[in-house]
Chain A
Amino acid sequence: MAPTAYYIALSGLLFAIGMIGVLTRRTAIMIFLSVELMLNAANLALVAFARAWGDLTAQTAVFIVMTLAAAEVAIGLAIIVAIFRKRETTNVDDLATLKG
């Protein structure tokens, strides 16, 4: 089997990519997708560690994190939709009136 370190490195890579996505994508949905990517990286790390410790709690934790993600998606998409209804845009750069 592959050592844990590999998995962690992989997850770290995924996390970094997700971050790049957050920064470079310009529509709310895409940014949100990238966040999902980061969450998955976290999950992957957790599961890998779970194996390393031979401990099921981490896997359970992952299960819960997935639920969190789902809930977040629900709220997030709701917000996005609500905004879209009023402005017909998902470009986050259009929402920059609050500043300074």
Chain B
Amino acid sequence: MPLYLLPLFPLIGFALLILFPRLFPGRSAGWLGSFTVLASFVVAVLRYLGQTETPAHEVLWTWLPNMALNANLAVGFYLDQLSALMALIITGVGFLIHVYSISYMGHDPKFVRFFAFMNFFVGMMLILVLADSYPLMFVGWEGVGTASYLLIGFWFSGRNSEAPDRKLREASDREGVANSNAARKAFIMNRIGDLGFMLGMFLLYKLYGTLSIPELAGRVAGAQVAQAGIELACLFLLVGAVGKSGQLPLTTWLPDAMAGPTPVSALIHAATMVTAGVYLIARSHFLYDLAPNASMWVAWVGALTALYGALSALNQHDIKKILAYSTVSQLGYMFLAVGLHAYSAGVFHLLTHAFFKALLFLSAGAVIHALHEEQDVRAMGGMRKFMPFTHLAALMGVLAIAGIPIWSGFFSKDAILAAAFTADPILYVVGLGVALLTAFYMGRWYFLVWRGEYRGHVAHPHEADGLMQVPLGILAALATLGGFLNVPSFLGGNHAFDTYLGRAIPLHPHEISASTEWLLTVLAVVAGVGGLLWAWAEHRRRRLADGPLGQVSSNALYLDRVYGSLFGIPSRAIAEGLDVVDRSVDGTLGGIARNSVAPGGLFTRWQSGFVRAYAVSMLLGTALIIGYWALKTIGGGGW
């Protein structure tokens, strides 16, 4: 089964749905979309099963000039353990979310278009992870960016823009503007990262003369290049990763991206796309291994972002915003891991996070659905009674993300913290603190939404229907059990996941005595449990509605405003100024066109109409000519 089938199926789905929307009445579009993703999933599974030690590399056709070694770069796909894993996550989780969306988006007028975009996203994401060269990866990179742009702005004119009623219409217009802005912001901020990515590629090409990843991996070892060069290249790539994964300082677009439909948030802005940065760094491990400083940067960016996300999540009131900031924070964890060369830990967290964060988002979506687009947690509460199944699923997710033992989050987070501990105690402390905060705000989220008494407006919120429950169930199971893929040795496991991934990415096993391991584990668990208890205590005191740090947190540490005043306003001003300059640059020509410039007046005044004036210029001219000649003669000058 050729690899290109993986992205091909969803793209075919996209083409059909976008070109012939009328061919798909009712929910058939949803089924088609889900089916194409399922097809890719099947392919992925088959390829996974048929996988050998040597990575598969399938070249299709020539594409970019001179960008491989003394040759034109070709479009080709590359399947090793890492990309296989990513493909499985994307298609698997993607398929579940597609199915979920069939019900969730069921009543949306642009149902078909939604699935077209979703398919487009899946296809692009698969290209991203399967790419055998950085430019091709960049195709997927910007492709998913575009998809996310389209999906964030899916309700670009608000959800009832055709409403005849003026009130509704205005509200919807406001919503439309907000959504559109969010989408645009996401794209532009990604572009900033992409520039870094591109510069990284340019530099790599300058250093190694190729952009094909296998070739690079082959040359990096032998080639003698300046250390600074590699470090710089890695930093450039980091910029790209930061942009895509919503890390500091390019993090502010991710919370806004929640303007999109909830499945989009689940698939793109939690499970898959935003982890592309992590993937990029893991994929470029052979470079980062040579660039200790750059790696340190990665780790620190991750740690700080984790902290930032956690702090911002403390006092959010939008059910999805909380999850969004938690995503930022969790991505920070992954960066921390890969920055410390603990790629396996990072990717493992990526996996588990995909499970439980998708789960959380979907259950949040179910709640929003049940409460008719209500998103404020203060207007919820006690949902447990109305939708028990969803509640159970959500609880699994909360426990997983809080890092409670046996749930998947526990294992992955534990590995990361261990890596941090070996590398740098400060990082470890940060990580631990974030774990505490995570547990707290997730607990807050849980208690506000599911416990306490119902504060909503909808009379009888209904439980999600089967189409939504199935994915919830599967994901809940995965979030619960996923951790056992990688049971550390001191718990009697065999690091199955690490060893699998190790075939693609050489491991840097950190030597920690089992006792320390135990200590770290206990600390982590304490942090998790403590956080939840803290939330429960607050809940008892009914003071959960507004969490710690008040405005500072709910305004996400004012980062947006800082950017606005630092970059937004000045650049607009400059643009304005340049425009003015540019319009007036050719005033003279315009003047001539309008036939009104001074010099001409001179000549017309000279042409005064008096014949004697003409005679004056004639004879003076003659006199001057002859006089000049006479003077020259006197001066004896030659001719």
Tell me whether A99 and B619 are in contact (CB under 8 A).
no
B607 neighbours in A (Cβ, 8 Å): 99-100
**With the chains together, A93 CA to B609 CA distance in Å?**
9
Q: Which residue of A lies closest to B609 (CB)?
A: A99
A26 neighbours in B (Cβ, 8 Å): 612
Taking a contact as CB atoms closer than 8 A, the residue among B608, B615, B616 that contacts A99 in the complex is B608
Tell me whether B611 and A23 are in contact (CB under 8 A).
no
Taking a contact as CB atoms closer than 8 A, the residue among A92, A99, A100 that contacts B612 in the complex is A92
B615 neighbours in A (Cβ, 8 Å): 22-23, 31
Tell me whether B616 and A93 are in contact (CB under 8 A).
no
Tell me whether A100 and B609 are in contact (CB under 8 A).
yes
Q: Which residue of B lies closest to A16 (CB)?
A: B623
What 1/0 mask marks residues of chain A from 59 to 100 whose CB sits below 8 Å from any chain B CB? 000000000000000000000000000000000110111111
Tell me whether B609 and A23 are in contact (CB under 8 A).
no
**With the chains together, A12 CA to B105 CA distance in Å?**
106
7 tightest A-B CB contacts, nearest first: A99-B609, A96-B609, A100-B604, A19-B619, A96-B610, A92-B611, A22-B615
Q: Interface SS of chain B: helix, strand, loop or mixed?
A: helix
Chain B min CB distance to A39 (Å):
15
Tell me whether B616 and A23 are in contact (CB under 8 A).
yes
Residues of A in contact (CB 8 Å), total: 13
**With the chains together, A92 CA to B608 CA distance in Å?**
13
Chain A min CB distance to B102 (Å):
81
Chain A min CB distance to B107 (Å):
77
On A, residues with C-beta under 8 Å from B are 19, 22-23, 26, 31, 92-93, 95-100
Tell me whether A98 and B609 are in contact (CB under 8 A).
yes
What 1/0 mask marks residues of chain B from 568 to 611 whose CB sits below 8 Å from any chain A CB? 00000000000000000000000000000000000010011111
Q: Could you name 30 residue pairs across A and B whose Cβ atoms are closer than 8 Å?
A: A19-B619, A19-B623, A22-B615, A22-B619, A23-B612, A23-B615, A23-B616, A23-B619, A26-B612, A31-B612, A31-B615, A92-B610, A92-B611, A92-B612, A93-B610, A93-B612, A95-B611, A96-B608, A96-B609, A96-B610, A96-B611, A97-B609, A98-B609, A99-B604, A99-B607, A99-B608, A99-B609, A100-B604, A100-B607, A100-B609
A98 neighbours in B (Cβ, 8 Å): 609
Chain A min CB distance to B196 (Å):
64
Question: In B601-636, which residues have CB < 8 Å from any A CB?
Answer: 604, 607-612, 615-616, 619, 623
Q: Which residue of B lies closest to A34 (CB)?
A: B615
A100 neighbours in B (Cβ, 8 Å): 604, 607, 609
**With the chains together, A100 CA to B610 CA distance in Å?**
11
Question: In B71-116, which residues have CB < 8 Å from any A CB?
Answer: none
Chain B min CB distance to A41 (Å):
13
**With the chains together, A61 CA to B610 CA distance in Å?**
34
**With the chains together, A95 CA to B611 CA distance in Å?**
8
Q: Which residue of B lies closest to A97 (CB)?
A: B609
B609 neighbours in A (Cβ, 8 Å): 96-100
Chain B min CB distance to A38 (Å):
10
**With the chains together, A22 CA to B610 CA distance in Å?**
13
Chain B min CB distance to A75 (Å):
16
Chain B min CB distance to A29 (Å):
14
**With the chains together, A42 CA to B638 CA distance in Å?**
27
**With the chains together, A86 CA to B604 CA distance in Å?**
28
Chain A min CB distance to B599 (Å):
14
**With the chains together, A93 CA to B608 CA distance in Å?**
11
A23 neighbours in B (Cβ, 8 Å): 612, 615-616, 619
**With the chains together, A98 CA to B607 CA distance in Å?**
9
Q: Which residue of A lies closest to B620 (CB)?
A: A23
Chain A min CB distance to B389 (Å):
94
- Beyond A23-B612, A26-B612, 10 additional pairs, beta carbon < 8 A: A22-B619, A92-B610, A92-B611, A93-B612, A95-B611, A96-B609, A96-B611, A99-B607, A99-B608, A100-B607
A99 neighbours in B (Cβ, 8 Å): 604, 607-609
Q: Which residue of A lies closest to B601 (CB)?
A: A100
B608 neighbours in A (Cβ, 8 Å): 96, 99
B619 neighbours in A (Cβ, 8 Å): 19, 22-23
